[in-house]
Amino acid sequence: MTDEVALKKPGVYIICCVAIAVASSVRAQNELVTQQRQVEFDRVIAENKTIGRTTQERIERLSKVLLGAPYVDGNLGEGAKGRYDQDPLSRFDVFDCTTYVETVLAGAMSQSVDDFLPNLKKIRYQDGYVSFSSRNHFPSADWLPNNRWMLSDVTQKIGASQTRFAKTLIDKKSWYQHMRITRLQGLELPSEAKKNRLLELQQLGTQYAPEWVTTPYIPLTAVFQKSPVSEQKHAQQVSAMHHLENDPKLSKKAKQTALRELAIKQHLENSTINTALLKRIPNGSVISMVRPNYQVKQWIGTNMNITHQAIAIHKKGRLYIRNASLLKKEVVDQDFVTYFSRYLENSSLKGFNVQLPTF
């Protein structure tokens, strides 16, 4: 702003200065919080070895350190030398569901702070080789199979005869073809050069053939077991729904929200929670939310099986999922039963896979 404009619009000038000062202060505060979070994470890694904590205890302690960290999707890449994605290899300011789980597991298996980044690379990339194409992009086709060296699938052991299997065709070639210029992160290139780099990235997908993957999962019906409902109670529930549907005071959006909340409430009322099954889920295990053959091919080029990941935590007699939540916009603990109760029978989310860390 020139002196002339400043003299003509002193109020605007002052407001701009205040806004800049506030933004700088917020940025500085966020950087401080991030630094403190990483320092504490490193301290716990060292403490884990000194005290000799179990794997489950290490996971619980380290995952707790990151509670409250903001959620940002797709926040990691191959670092400054990445050809297509130069987002950092590691960061503590933001997480998404998988980068959160990876960070915790890498820290939990580390004997020192120096072990952390090599362990993180080994978890995130096939054979630990850092490149976009070797990154474990798909949980069911890449992340779980390539991490069998540190995880054991205990889904069938927990679910027993109630275990089901999700099968889908992962089409990586089509997924690569659906990538757009926004997939390139951090690259300072002229427009034409960036377009050529995208074409190069899309070409990488030609090496892949469609792959059928099968993922065992515990269905939500095994957790929320239907209870007998009397005719009187059923009539009352139907009446409550009918009353809401015909309430003239509610807007369309408010009505939809109220009907969904009532459906969830009735779903819980009509269910018996299988607490014995929940107790069999190991503390510190990795929980992957399963949507069998999830129909997203028209948008991303392929269907999927797994759409979210979390860590199971037992606290005070209840089971929680500790996760970087898209809806909550941060890393949070959510009651396991409450979380899954919101996925009704008509939801595409049908259950969850359980992986036990073995390091």
Separation of alpha carbons 37 and 33, rounded Å: 6
Q: How many Cα atoms are found within 13 Å in the side-chain-facing hemisphere of 250? A: 13
Its domain, for residue 239, covers 228-269
Separation of alpha carbons 172 and 167, rounded Å: 16
Q: Label residue 17 by pLDDT band (50, 70, 90).
A: low
Residue 277 within any structural domain of the chain? no
List the one residue out of 204, 211, 217, 182 whose CA is nearest residue 85. Answer: 182
**Residue 60: is it exposed, middle or buried by C-beta count within 10 angstroms (0-12/13-18/19+)?**
buried
Give strand pairing partners of 213.
168
Separation of alpha carbons 189 and 351, rounded Å: 43
Residue 32 within any structural domain of the chain? no
Q: Label residue 328 by pLDDT band (50, 70, 90).
A: very high
Residue 58 within any structural domain of the chain? no
With 70 as the cut, is the pLDDT of residue 11 above it?
no
Residue 285 within any structural domain of the chain? no
pLDDT tens column, 131-188: 999 999 999 999 999 999 999 999 999 999 999 999 999 999 999 999 999 999 999 9
Residue 149 within any structural domain of the chain? no
Residue 281 within any structural domain of the chain? no
Residue 323's pLDDT is 98
Residue 12's pLDDT is 61
pLDDT-above-70 percentage for the chain:
93
Q: For residue 134, what are the contacts with CB-CB under 8 A and spacing of at least 6?
A: 125, 126, 127
Residue 5's pLDDT is 42
Report how many domains make up the chain.
1
Residue 30 within any structural domain of the chain? no
Count of Cβ atoms closer than 10 Å to residue 201 Cβ: 19
Separation of alpha carbons 248 and 350, rounded Å: 34
Residue 217's pLDDT is 98
pTM above threshold 0.85: yes
Residue 69 within any structural domain of the chain? no
